[in-house]
A and B are shown apart, each in its own frame.
Chain A
Amino acid sequence: MAILEVRDVSMFFGGLAALSKVTFDVEKGEILALIGPNGAGKTTLFNCVNGFYKPSIGRVEFKGETVSGLKPHQICARGMGRTFQVVKPLQRMNVFDNVLASAFLRNPARAKAEKVVEEVLLFTGLWEDREIISKGLPLGKRKRLEIARALATQPELLLLDESFAGLNPAELDVSIEIIKSIKKMGITIMIIEHHMKVIMSISDRIVVLNYGQKIAEGTPAQIGHNPQVVEAYLGEAADA
């Protein structure tokens, strides 16, 4: 069953088509990766899905309900969390309060919200850092804080925008494990990623964008051998 349906979504900025007629589904419980060269429209697509942009044409359906045109906070309340490529922590708040601010969405009572924060921080391995002001966290942990905050809104679908970019190999392994556990919790994930090793190992299906158009969709194995994708994005390195 599809949890998210993207239907003929086009997004124009003036005369520029950042997305044109993109259509695909995200199935419940899977990890769907969105890949493509820089400027292909991946983040624009996320912004259309989570409500920062209203698609110029087309629509997005979440759990069978049209959400394009709603505001991001309304879409979040319906069960969609997201992280940002350029991390946006609440800088002068500590890690615990950052996550608490999002946990209030489903748990208005403070005691219960704090319980959720504790769970999420233990899960993402940030519990030890809970009292650090988020401005002072290293990048790897700030990326994880983004994930923790999104998880605290208790989403059914999680949009991860380059949560692995700039991580060192050790941090990378931690984050991969976290993503896999999130999937085991039954949360559907759509992820934008450039790191092919990560993509090939965690994703169930891949959608490839190039110049705002979907050029391929399929399992990692299919995508790795798709000549169009190899030409546009993967290059010869994919064979190595």
Chain B
Amino acid sequence: MKRTAPYLVLAALVLLPLMQYSPVLRLGSDWMHVIIMAIMWTVTGMAWNLLGGYCGQVSFGHAAFFGMGSYCAALMTFHFQASPWWGFLVSIPATAAIAMIMGFLVLRLRGPYFVLATLAIGEVMRITFENLVDLTNGTKGITIVRDWVDKTPYYCIILGLAVGTYLLIKRMIGSKWGYYFVAVREDQDAAESLGIDTTRYKTIALVVSAILTGLAGAFYTVYMGYIDPQVVFSLGDISILIIMVVMVGGVATFWGPAVGAVIMIALSEYIRTIPYLGTAYQTFFGILLIVIIIYLPNGLVGDYRKLAKLFTRKTPGAA
């Protein structure tokens, strides 16, 4: 069951777009939008989880990488009249460079100091992009022409990115790197004295996490067709939403980000449709986060396992 679960999920996701054309239970393009967003947030959640969940370096500034990726795509069109799809390629060295500079500056900090520094860097990026008007068109933002009206191609691309991210992270976590990341999270001094170059492995986690987040950002541009610094460098809607996705789903679990993304995106789309209360959707997120931290500190996926174990242990006694 456990081994086949990923394939079942994948098969369902591959077949999902066909639902748009099915006569019964017809899937509208609004639903496709929600699903695409959920998968995009899964990618960013998995990326954040690598650094924050496994390596223990909690970042409140992932919007820096998301926005950087977004702008890479947008600026290809804005300045060079090239296809925004080149942004995917350009975003890799660009976000990696930002991550390395950021790592050099803040990875020597530990605990809350690191968190605050990442928060500051995310905001610095937003303000910089707002003010470099010649380069970024400032707060007016950039509009690009979307390639397709149909949502299916976008769906396929983001699904491919999500599967790639999942496989990459799974591979990393199962190898020496994964153990080193967790060792750094659990005790940096012990990790150092066991021969682990903690600075190096923290940098690796940061750079990989940044690149994946940047790719999701580039996707956001080509999919949405419009970005401005307040959207893609947003503290609340990007940096903190990424953390929410992982916290709700389960920190340091493979499936946590996916579960968290589906719940958070579905919830936010639903709450926004409630009259009067809709604009206060972030309040609901806050309440949800408090409930999760108190009752399911390891997230839905993390604590589901605990519940399952409890259940299987009780069964023989009852029988």
Complex contacts, B182 vs chain A, CB 8 Å: 90, 92-93, 97, 101
Taking A88-B187, A90-B183 as contacts, is the C-beta distance between A102 and B175 under 8 angstroms? no
Complex contacts, A81 vs chain B, CB 8 Å: 193-194
| Chain A contacts with B in 46-77, Cβ cutoff 8 A | 50-52, 71-74, 76-77
A51 to B198 Cα, complex, angstroms = 14
Least Cβ–Cβ distance between A3 and chain B, in angstroms: 18
Interface size classification for chain B = 10 to 19
The 8 Å CB contact of B186, one of A82, A92, A100, is: A92
A101 to B194 Cα, complex, angstroms = 8
Complex contacts, A153 vs chain B, CB 8 Å: 194-195
| Chain A contacts with B in 106-148, Cβ cutoff 8 A | 108, 110, 113
Complex contacts, A104 vs chain B, CB 8 Å: 176, 179-180
A198 to B164 Cα, complex, angstroms = 56
Residue pair B192, A71 in contact (C-beta under 8 Å): yes
Cβ contacts B41-59/A at 8 Å (1 or 0 each): 0000000000000000000
Residue pair B193, A50 in contact (C-beta under 8 Å): yes
B197 CB-CB contact with A under 8 Å: yes
Q: Is the interface of B mostly helix, strand, loop or mixed?
A: helix
Residue pair A77, B179 in contact (C-beta under 8 Å): no
Least Cβ–Cβ distance between B301 and chain A, in angstroms: 15
A90 to B190 Cα, complex, angstroms = 8
A93 to B174 Cα, complex, angstroms = 14
Cβ contacts B181-208/A at 8 Å (1 or 0 each): 0110011011111111110000000000
Residue pair B194, A149 in contact (C-beta under 8 Å): yes
Residue pair B193, A82 in contact (C-beta under 8 Å): yes
Complex contacts, B179 vs chain A, CB 8 Å: 97, 100-101, 104
Using CB atoms, name the residue of chain A closest to B198: A73
Using CB atoms, name the residue of chain A closest to B187: A88
A91 to B183 Cα, complex, angstroms = 9
A90 to B193 Cα, complex, angstroms = 13
A29 CB-CB contact with B under 8 Å: no
A123 to B312 Cα, complex, angstroms = 34
Least Cβ–Cβ distance between A164 and chain B, in angstroms: 19
Number of A-B contacts (CB under 8 A): 77
Complex contacts, B176 vs chain A, CB 8 Å: 104, 108, 110, 113
Residue pair A71, B189 in contact (C-beta under 8 Å): no
A89 to B192 Cα, complex, angstroms = 13
Using CB atoms, name the residue of chain B closest to A74: B197
A84 to B179 Cα, complex, angstroms = 20
Cβ contacts B259-291/A at 8 Å (1 or 0 each): 000000000000000000000000000000000
A165 CB-CB contact with B under 8 Å: no
A76 to B189 Cα, complex, angstroms = 12
A70 to B190 Cα, complex, angstroms = 16
Least Cβ–Cβ distance between A162 and chain B, in angstroms: 15
A105 CB-CB contact with B under 8 Å: yes
Taking A92-B186, A101-B182 as contacts, is the C-beta distance between A72 and B175 under 8 angstroms? no
Taking A100-B179, A101-B179, A110-B176 as contacts, is the C-beta distance between A89 and B190 under 8 angstroms? yes
Complex contacts, A51 vs chain B, CB 8 Å: 192
A149 to B197 Cα, complex, angstroms = 16
The 8 Å CB contact of B187, one of A50, A73, A77, A90, is: A90
Residue pair B186, A76 in contact (C-beta under 8 Å): no
Using CB atoms, name the residue of chain B closest to A154: B195
Residue pair A93, B186 in contact (C-beta under 8 Å): yes
Cβ contacts B98-118/A at 8 Å (1 or 0 each): 000000000000000000000
Residue pair A73, B190 in contact (C-beta under 8 Å): no
A71 to B108 Cα, complex, angstroms = 14
Least Cβ–Cβ distance between B259 and chain A, in angstroms: 20
A81 to B195 Cα, complex, angstroms = 8
Least Cβ–Cβ distance between B212 and chain A, in angstroms: 24
Residue pair B193, A76 in contact (C-beta under 8 Å): yes
Closest CB pairs A-B (n = 8): A76-B195, A90-B186, A88-B190, A105-B195, A72-B192, A102-B194, A104-B176, A101-B179
Would you list 20 pairs from A and B whose C-beta atoms are within 8 A, ordered by A residue? A72-B192, A72-B193, A73-B191, A82-B193, A84-B189, A84-B193, A88-B187, A88-B189, A90-B182, A92-B182, A92-B186, A101-B180, A101-B182, A101-B183, A101-B194, A102-B195, A104-B176, A104-B180, A110-B174, A110-B176
A residues sitting closer than 8 Å to B (CB atoms) are 50-52, 71-74, 76-77, 81-82, 84, 88-93, 97, 100-102, 104-105, 108, 110, 113, 149-150, 153
B residues sitting closer than 8 Å to A (CB atoms) are 174-176, 179-180, 182-183, 186-187, 189-198
Beyond the given pairs A104-B176, A105-B195, 14 more chain A to chain B contacts, judged by CB atoms under 8 angstroms and listed by A's residue number, are A71-B192, A73-B191, A73-B196, A73-B197, A73-B198, A84-B190, A90-B183, A90-B190, A92-B182, A92-B186, A93-B182, A97-B182, A102-B195, A149-B194
